[in-house]
Amino acid sequence: MMADSSGDWCTIESDPGVFTSLIESFGVKNVELTELWSLDDDSLKTLTAPIEGVDNAAVHGLIFLFKWQRQSASATASLEGRGTPLTGDAVPDGLFFAQQTVQNACATQAILSVLFNARDAIVAQEGGESKDEGDDNGRRLVLGQTLSNFKDFTCHFPPDLRGEAIGSSDEIRKAHNKFGRSEDAFLSDPTKPKRMATDDDDVFHFIAYVPHEDGCVYELDGLQRGPIKVGDFNKDEADKEWIKVARDAIQARLSNYSPTEIKFNLMAIVQDRRTYLNERLNALAAIGIEENDPAMVHIQSELHAEEEKRAQWALENARRHHNYLPFCVELLRSLAGSGKMDGLMSKAKTRADEKRKRQQKS
């Protein structure tokens, strides 16, 4: 992670625990990220109907990570199922879009694109009070003071200035960089210019898919000049329908890659599972269901699993933040002092040679 004073943005891992913690560090409530391993209808249904008795859980947007291809920068409009980026008056009222103007910010920018376009989001006024009371049992996203102020400040900005505002925001950048690996700063020489990616490097990029009140689904890619409309959906079945439209757009993107390419990641920004689990628990209690009833026990176990998941996320994030370099240096020093280093290096070289030979034969 680069020093905060440098103005740089570090790369962060595509992980639901990282992204959920990042969102919550902004003061956002009632949301979390979950990974999607399949695009079939049953998998998509689990987003809006995650447990029995809940069939309208909120899904605010999708975050898609893919390996950037050079042709995608010059020929995006020619990809199947994709339109031309909308600019100027063609951009729908109320749709937040920002161009990416700083390197490595695409993950946070994609997340912000979803948060700022969340339907019926509860925003905060100066002083921390919400402009609207009631979060509909957690279905409504609570934006928090930091992002509410930023959205209000940039609401009339053009996309390029919104991108500049994101890149210049100390609050957003510091929150983002907090989830970079701390050893990154020790493995690079700050006195030398950063190495630019070459054609041989794998470069990855994040984009977002969101529904809008005009009944359309939009792809929000900070490297484009504007949002791209990817399809229409039935607003009466909003969450259940718009996800399928986004799914089709993602599948169209995937069709441009080799069938052997697997370096993708898809996450959904959804309602915090604990909110509807607690709602379901209260509903059962209200009709006189005892605590030892199997239905109550099942939901309580689900809640316990959610709390354990959050605790595991916190542990993994603490490990990401921790700088293991001093430990590694001390370990190497101890091995050298005990005379074991030469033998271990010889074994490592032998294994590396054997692996290289196996790869050459295959």
Q: Catalytic site residues?
A: 106, 205
Per the CB < 8 A criterion, the answer to whether 71 and 168 are in contact is no
| Short-list 176, 173, 181, CA closest to 5 | 173
Q: Collect all residues with Cβ–Cβ distance below 8 Å to 97 and sequence separation of at least 6.
A: 91, 113, 159, 162, 218, 220, 226, 227
For residues 34 and 59, what is the distance between their CA atoms, to the nearest angstrom? 10
For 29-95, the three-class secondary structure string (H helix, E strand, C coil) is ECEEEEECCCCCHHHHHHHHCCECCECCCCEEEEEEEEECCHHHHHCHHHCCCCCCCCCHHHCCCCC
CB 290 within 8 A of CB 296: yes
What residue spans of the chain are helical by DSSP H? 16-25, 41-48, 70-74, 106-116, 145-154, 159-168, 170-177, 238-254, 273-286, 294-321, 325-337, 341-361
Q: Which residues pair with 29 in a beta bridge?
A: 142
Tokens of 126: 């100066």
Cβ neighbours around 122 below 10 Å, total: 20
Cα 208–Cα 211–Cα 213 angle in degrees, nearest 5: 140
> Cα separation of 230 and 234, whole Å?
14
Q: Answer yes or no: are the C-beta atoms of 230 and 219 closer than 8 Å.
A: yes
- Other Cβ atoms closer than 10 A to 275: 22
